[in-house]
């Protein structure tokens, strides 16, 4: 059973007001692994400006990807194409703008 708590809000400094981490035990062959099943995303940038909906939705999708077990895309030509071309994929290490065609694509390699 997978249990996820995900918070959407409009604050730039969530950790000053909310501290939520819930360990979730996952049975493994070699014992138990704890995973944090809490995620959060905000529609406000670090400087207090509202993010564009496309960018905020992609950030939320990226963080939900982590909740479902996805890692960041490997740093290779195939998995991390240049940003000036079709853009980075959804699970790239840094957030993407949403304007490039690859921005909302996830790779099977990420999962």
Which residue out of 57, 63, 78, 108 is catalytically annotated?
A: 63
Give all domains of the chain, ordered by start, each with its CATH number. Answer: 5-110 (3.40.390.10)
Q: Is 63 a catalytic residue?
A: yes
CB atoms within 10 A of CB 51: 18
Mean per-residue pLDDT for 53-77? 81
DSSP class of residue 74? P
Residue 98: strand, helix, or coil: coil
Mean per-residue pLDDT for 30-41? 64
Percent of the chain with pLDDT over 70: 60
Q: Which of 48, 41, 49 is nearest to 95 (CA)?
A: 41
Q: Which residue has the higher pLDDT, 62 or 107?
A: 62
Q: Quote the mean pLDDT of the chain.
A: 69
CB 50 within 8 A of CB 66: no
Planar angle of CA 18, 1, 71, nearest 5 degrees: 65
């Amino acid at each position: 059973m997978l249990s996820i708590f995900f918070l959407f809000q409009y604050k730039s400094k969530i950790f000053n007001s909310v501290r939520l981490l819930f360990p979730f035990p996952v049975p493994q062959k070699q014992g138990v692994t704890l995973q944090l099943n809490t995620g959060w995303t905000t529609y406000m940038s670090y400087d207090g400006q509202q993010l564009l909906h496309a960018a905020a939705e992609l950030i939320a999708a990226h963080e939900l990807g982590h909740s479902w077990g996805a890692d960041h895309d490997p740093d290779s030509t195939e998995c991390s194409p240049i940003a000036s071309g079709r853009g980075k994929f959804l699970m790239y290490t840094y957030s993407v703008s949403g304007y490039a065609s690859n921005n909302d694509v996830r790779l099977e390699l990420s999962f």
